[in-house]
A = this chain, B = another copy of it.
Amino acid sequence: MEKPLLYNYFRSSTSIRVRIGLNIKEIDYDYFALHLRKEEHRSEKYLKVNPYGLVPTIEFPSGIKLYQSLAILEYLDEIYPSPPILPTTSIKRAKVRAMAHAIALEIHPINNLQVLNYLRTNFSVNDEKIKKWFSNWVHKVFLPFENILSKDEEVGLYCFGDTPTIADICLFSQVVNNARFEIDMSNYPLIKGIYEKCMENEYFVKALPKNQPDAE
């Protein structure tokens, strides 16, 4: 198996997602750290790797280079199908993708570093209001997400069944990210349970920010 290079940042939740995927698939990889707060992802050198200036990017020795965490996870699942991180039938896959996308499209993009920086710089939004903004988008999704988990017969130890999928990967990375803004999790016993289940899984734990070489 060829050893890919992962351009990423310890704290970035899109980076956490791909690290978990690589860990679950037991794909050994090299770690290239880019310090987002030091704007290393905006360097001329990195823009040649990823013109969007975003992490993560994964590069395989064969020359294949891929962007976007969810596209990378889908790719990993296609070329290294075992163990799977998506169910086997189309309907189930659609349900799991919808759960993953609820987090990856409705929470994370609105709450990521560049958006918060824009609010601070251009609209003079203070820390207290940033915290409210962040938690607003989390709760808007977590509330119905918890509701869906409570009614879905296919919920198991994880969001869908008893093995982790991309839904858990996105959910876990978001909960990790939430910690910086002290999000109240008391209304989400099922989400909390799945997060705790992930915290017992070495593939998730290994992907945590604190366990990366660039951790601060």
Interface residues of A (CB under 8 A from B): 47, 51-54, 64, 66-68, 70-72, 74-75, 78-79, 90-91, 93-95, 97-98, 101-102, 104-106, 108-110, 114-115, 118-119, 122-123, 125, 129, 132-133, 136, 140-141, 144, 147-148
Residues of B within 8 A of A53 (CB): 144
Contact A119 B123 (CB under 8 A): yes
What chain B residues lie within 8 Å of A78 (beta carbons)?
90, 93
Copies of this chain, how many?
Answer: 2
With a cutoff of 8 Å between Cβ atoms, the chain B residues found around residue A52 in the complex are: 102, 106, 141, 144
12 contacts between A and B (CB under 8 A): A47-B144, A66-B98, A67-B98, A68-B105, A71-B95, A71-B98, A72-B94, A75-B90, A78-B90, A104-B105, A114-B140, A123-B123
* Contacting pair A70 B90 (CB below 8 A): no
Among B102, B110, B129, B147, contact of A115 (Cβ-Cβ < 8 Å): B110
| Residues in B neighbouring A123, C-beta threshold 8 A | 119, 123, 125, 129
Report whether A118 and B136 are in contact in the complex, using a CB–CB cutoff of 8 Å: yes
Least CB distance from A147 to B in Å reads 5
B66 touches A95 (CB 8 A): yes
Alpha-carbon distance A53/B141, docked complex (angstroms)? 10
Q: Please give, as numbers and ranges, the residues of chain B lying within 8 Å of A148 by CB-CB distance.
A: 51
Compute how far the CA of A102 lies from the CA of B179 in the bound complex, rounded to whole angstroms: 26
What is the bound-complex CA distance between A132 and B141, given in angstroms?
A: 27
Q: What is the minimal beta-carbon distance from A85 to any residue of chain B, in angstroms?
A: 14
Judge whether B94 and A71 touch: CB under 8 Å.
yes
Shortest CB-to-CB span from A109 to chain B, Å, is 4
